[in-house]
């Protein structure tokens, strides 16, 4: 045999040996089939002190602090700013803002207030004048109405009866005179017939008789004229005067009331305008007063920009010459020596955490000190800034009150809070990865006397993300599988109850809309607006699985069309 052949045989033997080693190792390291498993994959059930805790990072902040904000409207420039870290007393000047533009506005506003006061005084005096004039006009109209009524009564009860009697007296007198004239004329005619009286005297008596007849007719005509025309006209005229005076009085009263109401409204408008301008002036004075911010209490000055920070990293530090806007937080002024720690708890740990739980705080800047605390508040909603960075990350702000002497603490220090959920002086525990859940039950794979791993149902409590508390099902010293067969736990889920739902077949016939969209020739036809609207509505109502199935069905059609 040549050297080359021997070399080939040796290499073949080595390869077979290596293949045998690989086959033996793969058989020896199988996790579960009833055969021996390597001891390195087991861990013993431990018994001893167990602390169920939760570690979260956070920041130290003062428990009680005053927030100093800018109260000047708009934007204002910082003229003076007290250095950060200064311990101040009540009444000390913290910040002074520039109010030069407000000073100019104040001067203009003072002029406006003076003009408003002059308008108010004028409106007030005008109201008195209008009231006086209204009173005079009403009194004059009332007097005119009274005179009209009195004239009517005077004519009805005085003048008319007097004139009527005068006319009747004239008639009576004319009748008597006429009768005497007639009697005299009779005697004159007898005497004239007997030649005792001249014709001239008789004619004179006849003329006198005729004159008295005319006077009687005139007196009767005057009386008829008085009764039929003069009286009615005078009555109608005087009654009209009374009616006109009554309406004039009503018009005067209404006009006077309207003038008074208008004058009062003008006075009220001037008063409101004056008050508004005075309020604006007071506001300017208040703004000028707010330009100097004094310390409301004793404390340590901390700039808001230093305490809050910004996750974007673009917040400018508070300095003199910087512009600040209204209600901007400028300074935090702690008023006590007590502190709190603000931490963020993940939503998965909320079921473990509640108010009143104790906590141990370790400060990064004070490595040799441990502070005690207690949870006093848990936010009802997740932190918005964390959700903005990652919408799937839900962190809840939690406040831990620091107990005892905390003079060494400073605001803004980083800390780690260890929340103590449970403490057991003696308890059984195993690693959390040794427990699997099958059909809603907790199961651990325990090593039996034959050296095989068998599933056993156990009862567990809380865990600290490393060890889980075992309440029932295990004993101290027993060995459990460190890497349990997860495929066994998953396979048992096939025994779960079926869902009451209809599952469509993969090769189910496409809807009618698809048939109209893709004809038999493989070319896409142009859809009408109604068909396009129906297709969009159907696509909007599809689930993600239906959309993926539809795309999968369309891919062969598109390839055939190409």
Residue 500 burial (CB < 10 Å; 0-12/13-18/19+)? exposed
| Edge-to-edge strand ranges of the sheet holding 292-294 | 292-294, 93-97, 75-81, 323-325
What is the rounded CA–CA span in Å between residue 174 and residue 210? 11
Q: Model pTM greater than 0.85? A: no
Of residues 63, 72, 96, the one with CA closest to residue 299: 63
| Edge-to-edge strand ranges of the sheet holding 302-303 | 65-69, 329-334, 302-303
pLDDT at position 122 is 93
pLDDT at position 441 is 87
What is the rounded CA–CA span in Å between residue 126 and residue 270? 12
Q: What is the 3-state secondary structure (H, E, C) of 156-179?
A: HHHHHHHHHHHHHHHHHHHHHHHH
What is the rounded CA–CA span in Å between residue 219 and residue 166? 9
pLDDT at position 267 is 92
In this structure, what DSSP letter does residue 506 have?
T
Torsion sign (Cα): 56, 59, 64, 70: negative
What is the rounded CA–CA span in Å between residue 259 and residue 138? 13
Around Cβ 464, how many Cβ atoms within 10 Å?
19
Cα dihedral 260, 263, 264, 270, rounded to 10, equals: 180
pLDDT at position 24 is 60
**CATH of range 30-49+427-495; options 2.40.420.20, 3.10.20.600, 3.40.50.970, 1.10.10.350:** 2.40.420.20
- Rg from Cα positions in the chain: 60
- Supply 365's token pair: 């800047």
Residue 299 burial (CB < 10 Å; 0-12/13-18/19+)? buried
pLDDT at position 165 is 82
Assigned architecture for domain 71-98+291-334:
Beta Barrel (2.40)
What is the rounded CA–CA span in Å between residue 519 and residue 339? 74
Of residues 163, 161, 167, the one with CA closest to residue 223: 167
CA distances from 547 to 165, 308, 538, 543, 552 (A): 121, 46, 10, 6, 9
Around Cβ 49, how many Cβ atoms within 10 Å?
10
Which residues are CB-neighbours of 26 under 8 A, at least 6 positions away?
Answer: none
Q: How many residues does the chain have?
A: 562
pLDDT at position 108 is 93
What is the rounded CA–CA span in Å between residue 374 and residue 353? 11
* Residues in the chain with pLDDT values less than 70: 1-7, 9, 21-40, 192, 195, 197, 307-315, 405, 486-548, 550-562
Alpha helices for 194-230 (secondary structure H): 199-225
pLDDT at position 495 is 45
**Placement of tokens 């005792």 in the chain:** 196
**Tens digit of pLDDT for each residue in 472-523?**
989 888 989 888 876 555 444 444 455 555 656 555 444 444 444 444 444 4
């Amino acid at each position: 045999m040549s050297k080359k052949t021997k070399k080939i045989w040796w290499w073949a033997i080595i390869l077979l040996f290596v293949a045998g080693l690989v086959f033996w190792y793969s058989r020896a390291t199988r996790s579960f089939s009833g055969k021996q498993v390597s001891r390195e994959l087991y861990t013993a059930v431990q018994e001893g002190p167990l602390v169920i805790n939760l570690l979260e990072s956070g920041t130290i902040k003062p428990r009680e602090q005053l927030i100093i904000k800018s109260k000047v409207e708009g934007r204002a420039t910082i003229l003076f700013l007290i250095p950060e870290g200064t311990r101040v007393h009540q009444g000390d000047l913290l910040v002074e803002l520039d109010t030069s533009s407000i000073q100019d506005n104040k001067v203009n506003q003072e002029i406006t207030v003076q003009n408003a006061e002059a308008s108010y005084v004028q409106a007030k005096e005008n109201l008195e004048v209008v009231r006086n004039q209204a009173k005079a006009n009403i009194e004059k109209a009332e007097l005119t109405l009274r005179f009209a009524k009195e004239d009517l009564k005077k004519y009805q009860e005085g003048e008319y009866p007097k004139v009527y009697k005068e006319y009747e007296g004239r008639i009576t007198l004319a009748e008597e005179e006429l009768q005497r004239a007639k009697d005299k004329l009779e005697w004159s005619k007898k005497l004239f017939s007997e030649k005792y009286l001249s014709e001239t005297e008789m004619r004179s008596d006849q003329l006198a008789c005729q004159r008295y007849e005319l006077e009687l007719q005139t007196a009767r005509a005057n009386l008829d004229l008085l009764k039929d025309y003069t009286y009615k006209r005078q009555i109608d005229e005087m009654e009209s005067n009374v009616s006109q005076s009554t309406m004039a009085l009503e018009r005067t009263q209404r006009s006077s009331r309207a003038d008074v109401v208008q004058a009062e409204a003008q006075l009220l408008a001037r008063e409101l305008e004056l008050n508004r301008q005075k309020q604006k002036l007071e506001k300017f004075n208040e703004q000028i007063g707010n330009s100097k911010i004094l310390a409301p209490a004793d404390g340590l000055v901390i700039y808001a920009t230093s305490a809050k920070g910004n996750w974007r990293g673009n917040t400018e530090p508070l300095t003199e010459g910087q512009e600040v806007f209204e209600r901007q937080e400028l300074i935090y002024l702690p008023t006590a020596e007590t502190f709190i720690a603000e931490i963020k708890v993940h939503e998965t740990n909320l079921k473990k955490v509640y108010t009143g739980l104790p906590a141990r705080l370790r400060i990064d800047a004070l490595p040799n000190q441990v502070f005690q605390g207690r949870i006093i508040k848990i936010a009802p909603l997740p932190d918005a800034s964390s959700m903005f960075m990652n919408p799937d990350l839900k962190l809840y702000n939690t406040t831990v009150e620091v107990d005892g002497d905390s003079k060494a603490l400073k605001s803004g220090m980083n800390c780690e809070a260890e929340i103590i959920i449970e403490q057991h002086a003696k308890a059984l525990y195993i690693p959390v990865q040794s427990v699997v859940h099958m059909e809603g039950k907790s199961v651990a794979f325990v090593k039996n006397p034959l050296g095989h791993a068998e599933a056993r149902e156990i009862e567990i409590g809380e865990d600290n993300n490393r060890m889980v508390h075992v309440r029932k099902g295990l004993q101290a010293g027993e060995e459990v599988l460190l890497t349990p067969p997860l495929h066994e736990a998953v396979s048992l889920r096939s025994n779960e109850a079926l869902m009451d739902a209809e599952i469509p077949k993969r090769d189910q016939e496409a809807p009618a809309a698809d048939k109209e969209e893709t004809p038999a020739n493989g070319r896409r036809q142009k859809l009408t607006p109604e068909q396009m609207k129906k297709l969009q509505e159907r696509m909007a109502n599809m689930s993600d699985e239906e959309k993926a199935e539809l795309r999968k069905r369309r891919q062969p059609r598109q390839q055939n069309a190409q």
